[in-house]
């Protein structure tokens, strides 16, 4: 795993490949935008996580938020909704040939890691790490042993901790507003 210290924050960008500054720059812009979009989704009962898929030319394909509560479906995380929408759009269950990139406001959970693996998405970029999501919100992100390495074995590039501070602030706002932290009662 490689690391990159950002000047503006204490958060280190991490990756399962040698860090490509250009990829980090593009991802920073997109993820900061996703983070800032969070309130527009949470106002409508969606979120607080947002995902977007871009094509290899840098065009937006789909942007989605969690719809677990609204649609009564525990599977409807932002990433799963984005993958479903992209696959519907392109009429395929395998996105591999399209070289798509997935950008997420926070680290994918155990379910979404599986969903990404089966989708054929080639590159994954996320903002807030799961440890911070769990600390701030109380969401359970699941157990994810060595997932960076497992993705690498399967040719999937991952970059994490991009613009995490903006996302952490939005997640704090979500909690402070008394919004729902959906998970099964144990």
Which stretch, 27-35, 92-100, 106-114, 177-185, contacts Zn ion (CB under 5 A)? 106-114
Binding of Zn ion by 50 (CB under 5 A): no
Binding of Zn ion by 112 (CB under 5 A): yes
- 27-33 CB contacts, 8 Å cutoff, 24+ apart: 27/103, 27/125, 27/159, 27/162, 28/162, 28/163, 30/54, 30/103, 30/125, 31/103, 31/104, 31/105, 31/125, 31/126, 31/127, 31/162, 31/163, 31/167, 32/163, 32/166
Binding of Zn ion by 158 (CB under 5 A): no
Binding of Zn ion by 105 (CB under 5 A): no
CA 79 to chain CA centroid, Å, is 6
The binding track of 53-82 with respect to Zn ion, each residue x by CB under 5 A or -, is ------------------------x-----
Q: Which is nearer to Zn ion, 106 or 162 (CB)?
A: 106
Which one among 109, 121, 156, 158 touches Zn ion, defined by CB under 5 A?
109
Q: What does the binding site for Zn ion look like in residue numbers (CB under 5 A)?
A: 77, 109, 111-112
């Amino acid at each position: 795993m490689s690391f990159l210290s950002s000047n503006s924050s204490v958060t280190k960008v991490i990756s399962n490949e040698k860090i490509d500054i250009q990829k980090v720059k593009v991802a920073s812009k997109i993820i900061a935008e996703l983070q800032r979009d969070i309130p527009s989704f949470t106002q409508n009962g969606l979120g607080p996580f947002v995902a977007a898929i871009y094509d290899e030319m840098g065009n937006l394909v789909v942007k989605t938020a969690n719809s677990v509560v609204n649609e009564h479906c525990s599977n409807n995380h932002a990433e799963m909704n984005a993958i479903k929408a992209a696959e519907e759009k392109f009429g395929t269950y395998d996105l591999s040939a399209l070289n798509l990139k997935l950008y997420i406001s926070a680290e994918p959970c155990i379910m979404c890691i599986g969903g990404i693996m089966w989708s054929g998405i080639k590159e994954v970029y996320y903002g807030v790490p799961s440890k911070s999501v769990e600390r701030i919100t109380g969401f359970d992100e699941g157990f994810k042993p060595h997932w960076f390495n497992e993705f690498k074995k399967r040719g999937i590039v991952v970059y994490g901790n991009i613009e995490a501070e903006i996302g952490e602030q939005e997640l704090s706002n979500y909690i402070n507003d008394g919004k729902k932290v959906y998970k099964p009662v144990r």
